[in-house]
Amino acid sequence: MAISKGEWKRYGQHIHLSDTNTSDEIVTVLCPAWMSKEEARANADIIVAAVNACQEVNPDNPMAVAESIKDMYEALKVAFEKSHNPEVEIILMKAIAKAERRE
């Protein structure tokens, strides 16, 4: 299955796919009837953010990035624990803190 290579954006409860190779397309995010609009928008936001980040890392195979996120996160933690370079530790600490951010 081919994926949209353009940037994804959320409009309300919909995801807008902007693909340079095809015409723009609107995709409705399916959600249960009991889900609030705010929750549906939050779900759409996380999908859009994840897809865009994965495409930025590997435009040819963003699914490979998605499937490796947990492994990369664990590798960051191990690298931080074993690092003896303060500059590298700061970079790793920032990345781990960003991933663990709670809102």
27-82 pLDDT tens trace = 555 566 677 778 777 877 888 888 889 988 988 888 899 999 999 999 999 999 99
Asked if pLDDT for residue 84 goes beyond 60, the answer is yes
Overall domain count for the chain: 2
Average pLDDT over residues 82-99: 89
pLDDT at 103: 46
d(CA 3, CA 28): 16
pLDDT at 74: 93
The boundaries of the domain holding residue 45 are 8-59
pLDDT at 70: 92
User: Is 3 domain-assigned?
Assistant: no
pLDDT at 32: 61
User: Is 1 domain-assigned?
Assistant: no
User: Based on the domain organization, do 12 and 42 belong to the same domain?
Assistant: yes
Please state, as a whole number, how many other Cβ atoms lie within 10 Å of the Cβ of residue 62: 20
Q: Are 8 and 52 in contact (CB under 8 A)?
A: yes
